[in-house]
Amino acid sequence: MNRILYSLAIALICGTSIACTEQVSSNQFNNNQPTSRPSTITDTISVEGEKQKITLNLYNKPDLNFTTYVPANRFVDQTVSSGEGTAVWFYALQPNGKINKNVYVQFFFPGEKLTWKEAKQRLVAPKGLFAINKWQVVNSSQAKEDLYPWAKEKIVFRQQGNSNIVGVLFIGEYNGQAFWAVQHYPAEFGDGFEPLASKMFKYLQLRR
């Protein structure tokens, strides 16, 4: 039980430490995509009531078990892998080109075989990811209208203390194997970030 939690803690540390062994790439994404998915697509987001058309690039790396589309020139990806699992972050880029590590989407694929219910138990356990990060559950839902096709449960959270960090974690399951996806951001970034981040969840495809 503690092995996967240790892995998560290491992954979170690696997200903010240059001393960790990691694979960091720019916002130029791998073009080795399946023929069934074009390298770029366009979509529309709504920001403060205004519709905006955006371009998204296919994110497809052979050593990862998912593909998705990522808003072009908006994120930098980072992958940390071990025998305990694989974490992939998409950190938001600020207008000046700098990375904001408080604003990200993360996908985590445990190395251990877990059902989504087992994954949830570990995430919200006294020494689980929510406790480590001081994430307080605001509400949760298993209603289909609140979920993506791959998701089993949605958990809305906010960080305890003086932080204004909020977010949502979706627990998914593919071929009996659990994974989860997180949006994490300061509350004041929500209007601009959430519409972009949700596209990565919308276009997520699992494989293997």
Token pair in block for residue 194: 């959430």
| pLDDT bracket for residue 161 (50, 70, 90) | confident
Q: What digits encode the pLDDT tens for the residues 193-203?
A: 999 999 999 99
Structure confidence at residue 11 (pLDDT): 42
Q: Which residues of 25-53 are buried (b: 16+ CB within 10 A; e: fewer)?
A: eebebbeebeeeeeeeeeeebeeeeeeee
Total domains, the chain: 1
Instruction: List, for residues 167-193, the tens digit of each pLDDT value.
Output: 999 999 999 999 999 999 999 998 999
User: Greater confidence, 47 or 44?
Assistant: 44
Token code pair at residue 204: 């997520």
Which stretches of the chain are DSSP H helices? 2-14, 116-123, 129-133, 190-202
Confidence band, pLDDT 50/70/90 cuts, at residue 207 = confident
> In which domain, by residue range, is 68 found?
2-206
pLDDT reported for residue 4 = 39
Residue keyed to tokens 């209603």: 143
| pLDDT digits 0-9 by tens, 2-35 | 333 434 443 443 333 323 323 333 333 333 334 4
CATH of the domain at 33: 3.40.1000.10
